[in-house]
């Protein structure tokens, strides 16, 4: 038999570990877990319980549809996708031939109406002159009768002649009454108005203004400042009023709809601050915002086919509610966002004094545009110029020549 020593196996070495060392190792491992638990508890109390986070959030904004107000054929397209346009800038032009003919016809009708009313005013003056003439004739006939009647007793004039004079007075009085009736009829057509305010002229003016505005609307304007998207307008296309031609997206006013779970909303309030990051710019760019409002219902309620949980089998699914986050304008200017981009949202819920729902009705419009306000003002100015010119021509007043 060999006397060589037998080497110790690993199991025998582990089995030979002193109990005190093994206990120290277990205590150290337990201490690590306890320390990790304490760190997690501190993070939960100080950080995680004070905020709500979600990555189910997307950028939204106004998608302003551009459409024509009148039917027509597209002859010019002045903006294309991705291009920036300003409010009031022409985007599409329609063929104006028919509208120009309608405007010309309305102009002639307005001029004719002014001349017709001017003629009615002239008839008043004519009727007044006729009344004055008939009054003079009556006065002359009465004077002749007054001088001739005493001579009948002296047989200086015949009875037949006096009778003829009395009949002349009656005829003159009747002619005066007829002239007065004509004067009243002439005055009734223009009483209380001047040429520009006469109902006939106002009716023709309204028709002219409608034709003028119709012509102006053959140029489709950008209602807001933004970027063109979804252009569907094509040259030669026959369009109808309200048919979408393109969209204008105002990227300077976008917001984020963050879809939080219903279990995250108990402490969420309007006005709480939020920080956002975008996959577009990465974590190095932080957007600042505030909670602008909480949705009035979950997405399933407003779906095209809402769920019918009262029928058939039912499985509970945690619902999500859209929370609108308003983004600071200066952040959007430095780092523009586009609609549909995904965002990561963290809402600080420490301040819980704000309302859950909006308490006051809106006192300012959510959006407005003034690019169409010039239409009526321009129509009024054009109609007033035509009325003045037609009035001068009808009344014989010569316009003062320009220097």
d(CA 85, CA 223): 10
Backbone angles phi, psi at 386, to 5 degrees: -65, -40
Per-domain boundaries in the chain: 65-94+218-247, 98-216+372-395, 254-348
Q: Read off the pLDDT of residues 158-216 as tens digits, 9 standing for 90 and up.
A: 666 767 767 877 888 888 788 787 777 767 766 667 888 888 899 999 999 999 999 99
pLDDT (mean) for 77-90? 95
More confident residue, 14 or 206: 206
pLDDT at 364: 83
Confidence tier at 399 by pLDDT (50, 70, 90)? very low
pLDDT (mean) for 387-395? 85
d(CA 249, CA 258): 20
Into which CATH architecture does domain 65-94+218-247 fall? Answer: Beta Barrel (2.40)
More confident residue, 378 or 119: 378
Structure token digits, residue 64: 């302003």
Helix, strand, or coil here: 360? coil
Report CA-CA distances (Å) from 317 to 232, 297, 314, 337, 382.
Answer: 40, 15, 9, 32, 64
Extended strands (E) in 14-159: 51-61, 64-67, 72-77, 84-85, 90-94
pLDDT at 143: 72
CATH of domain 254-348: 2.40.30.170
């Amino acid at each position: 038999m060999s006397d060589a020593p037998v080497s110790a196996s690993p199991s025998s070495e582990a089995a030979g570990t002193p109990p005190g060392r093994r206990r120290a190792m277990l205590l150290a491992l337990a201490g690590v877990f306890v320390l990790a638990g304490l760190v997690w508890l501190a993070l939960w109390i100080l950080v995680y319980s004070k905020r709500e986070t979600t990555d189910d959030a997307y950028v939204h904004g106004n998608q302003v549809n551009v459409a024509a107000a009148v039917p027509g054929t597209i002859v010019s397209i002045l903006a294309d996708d991705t291009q920036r346009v300003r409010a009031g800038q022409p985007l599409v032009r329609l063929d104006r031939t028919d509208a120009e003919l309608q405007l010309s016809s309305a102009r002639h009708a307005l001029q004719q109406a002014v001349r017709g009313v001017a003629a009615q005013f002239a008839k008043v003056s004519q009727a007044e002159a006729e009344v004055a003439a008939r009054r003079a004739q009556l006065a002359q006939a009465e004077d002749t009768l007054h001088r001739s009647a005493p001579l009948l007793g002296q047989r200086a004039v015949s009875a037949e002649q006096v009778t003829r004079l009395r009949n002349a007075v009656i005829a003159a009085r009747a002619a005066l009454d007829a002239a007065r009736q004509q004067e009243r009829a002439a005055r009734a057509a223009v009483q209380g108005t001047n040429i520009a305010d006469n109902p006939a002229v106002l009716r023709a003016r309204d028709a002219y203004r409608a034709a003028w505005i119709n012509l102006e609307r053959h140029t489709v304007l950008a209602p807001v400042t933004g970027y063109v998207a979804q252009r569907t307008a094509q040259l030669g296309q026959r369009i109808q009023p309200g048919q979408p031609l393109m969209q204008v997206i105002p990227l300077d006013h976008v917001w984020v709809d963050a879809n939080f779970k219903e279990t995250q909303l108990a402490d969420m309030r309007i006005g709480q601050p939020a920080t956002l990051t975008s996959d577009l710019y990465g974590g190095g760019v932080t957007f600042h915002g505030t909670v602008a409002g909480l949705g009035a219902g979950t997405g399933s309620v407003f779906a095209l086919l809402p769920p019918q949980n009262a029928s058939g089998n039912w499985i509970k699914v945690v619902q999500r509610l859209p929370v609108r986050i308003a983004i600071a304008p200066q952040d959007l200017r430095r780092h523009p966002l586009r609609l549909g981009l995904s965002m990561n949202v963290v809402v600080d819920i420490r301040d819980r004094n704000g309302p859950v729902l909006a308490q006051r009705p809106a006192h300012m419009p959510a959006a407005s545009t003034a690019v169409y306000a010039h239409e009526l003002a321009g129509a009024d100015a054009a109609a007033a110029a035509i009325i003045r010119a037609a009035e001068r021509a009808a009344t014989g007043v010569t316009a003062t020549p320009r220097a």
